[in-house]
Structure formats: structure tokens, C-alpha cells
Copies of this chain bind each other. A is one copy, B any other.
């Protein structure tokens, strides 16, 4: 993301825990550290956004962007959560979750199988962004969340495209991270069992870029794309 829009939190500063962000178990895996939360959010670009419709939960995958202590989600003005936010004057209660799987943890016992992961859960109220300048900045942040630096190397949205896009914002107030790291935790009496145990780290990154067949002559792969591999 652009350095100009990213101010670092004070080292050690945290989000205040609430009843919703303190887990009922495995509390040792929870963290409220702002730097950790930002780092997990900044490594991703797809979140799972939850909201309530007719009393039932709905969870949809969608892109997000972060600017400071605010997240942005966008979509067609005709899509369901965006319409619900715009229609609801007091905003739409949401839960936005970002998860990275880092490794499979294969234990000797079925019970101790696990996953090394890092996740962030944000509780709050989403509001429609109506200020045109904030909307433009948010859309740049959404593009740069996927590939840092990309928004400057693409044709900006025109008026018609801006009008067709709704953007909602969600402040980072009630936030927690949860993570599991490390190796296998088997029971001492299982350590002699002849089952293979260990970690299977997930492969990250991208395969070779596939250029659009109609690229303008002389358009090479930009440096910022070579860097993300």
C-alpha cells in the first residue's frame, strides 16, 4: 500500500478487548496488537463479510482495502450487502474476517491435528461512503491491497463507473487476531507411535503472469508485479 496513507500504530498499542473479541477458549491464541492485526490484514485482500438478513446470517467473500484504522469494501450498487447498507440509516452490523492458512499440522493422534493460521475478526457497523474523494481513495486502496502500486498503473474510474460502484467503510475498533504457530503437540504417550507427524507449509505467492493477448505493443511486465512473486 501507499506509504502516504499508512501511518504506523504506536508500538505495543492494542485494540480494547470486548465481550465479543475475547474467545471462550484458547485465549492464549488471541491478540489485540494493532501492528499484528495490520500485518495480517495487509497480507490479504479477500475477506469473508458477514451480515444478518431476515434474521439469518449471510457470509460472502469479497475484496477489501485498508487505510489506517479503516477498512473498505466495494461492490455493485445492486448487490445485496451494499444495498442494505445504503438503505439502513444507522448502518449495517457486520463481521469481517480475514484468514491465512500457513501450514497443516499433522499429529500422531487424530485429535491433535490442526492448522497453523492467522486470522483477524472485525466486529462493527458498516456505513456507505458518500464523500466522492473518500470513495476514490478507497477504490485506489482496494486495488493496491491486491497489488501494491497497481492503482497508479491503471486507468482511474470514470464518473459512470464510480456511480455504479458502492463503497462501505468499517472502522477498526472492535478487533482481534487469532493465530496458531509452531509444531505438533502430541500427547507424551503417543510420541513413540509409528505415524509420520509434522508440518505441511502452504506454498504462497504466484505462478508466472499470463499476459492478456491484446497488450499494447511494448508493454512489459512492470517491476511491482515482478516483486509480488
A residues in contact (CB < 8 Å) with B: 20, 23-26, 46, 48-53, 55-61, 63, 76, 78-80, 83, 93-97, 99, 101, 103-104, 106-111, 113, 115, 117, 119, 121, 123, 139-140, 143, 146-147, 150-151, 153-158, 161, 165, 183-184, 186, 190-216, 218-222, 225, 228
Q: Does A211 contact B195, Cβ atoms closer than 8 Å? A: no
CA distance A49 to B95 in the complex (A): 11
Q: What residue of chain B has the Cβ atom nearest to residue A119's Cβ?
A: B61
24 A-B pairs with C-beta separation under 8 A: A24-B78, A46-B101, A48-B59, A48-B61, A50-B58, A50-B59, A59-B95, A61-B99, A108-B155, A109-B154, A111-B165, A113-B143, A113-B154, A115-B146, A147-B200, A154-B195, A155-B195, A191-B214, A192-B216, A196-B220, A198-B209, A201-B206, A201-B210, A202-B205
